[in-house]
Structure 1
Amino acid sequence: MDLEVTGEVWYWRGPAPFHFVSLPADEAARLGAVANLVTYGWGCIPATVRVGATTYTTSLFPKDGGFAVPVKVAVRRAEGIDLGDVVSMRVTVPDP
């Protein structure tokens, strides 16, 4: 499953602080329909993400009825992404 996503980078200041982009409702619903088939536990879903010229592997996290895409430090540096920026990304989830 490939999802084209555009969203604002936000910061979560938890025990492991990180930057994320939330999946828009339509894409979150598409992913939610197959989430039980592709999760490896706790609702986390493996994914490959492409932002600009950078491709990386990560896990999508369930958040507030949707999903959040982590944006790694190395990706933010390579692509010049800051908190509050609106970014476009391609999120690829393995077939169930």
Structure 2
Amino acid sequence: MLDNGLKKAHLGFKKITEDTTFSIKGMIEPTFYNFGPENVRVYHTVVKPGESFLAGVHGMVMEGEFPIVFQGENKNARDLLCYYGSPIDNCE
């Protein structure tokens, strides 16, 4: 833990290109960005092309999983990225 009470984290990302049940276990503030040309349903929320969806709680390490469903027929253009923080347990 840093002197100001903040913890350190690594920034990571995962690319999603097919319908799935996606785990957010261990992620800090997972945020989904739709870079594809069609809508994606992330945890019952429609994420339009060029938009994002914050699926986490500020400063908390998340648990759980939820469905991701792509809309439209163009499977080759699917491009959903999830950016997230991963806590660093031992930091100096």
User: Whose Rg is larger?
Assistant: 2
User: Could you tell me the TM-score, scaled by structure 1's length?
Assistant: 0.35
User: Could you tell me the TM-score, scaled by structure 2's length?
Assistant: 0.36
Instruction: Identify the structure with bigger relative contact order (alpha carbons < 8 Å, sequence gap 6+).
Output: 2
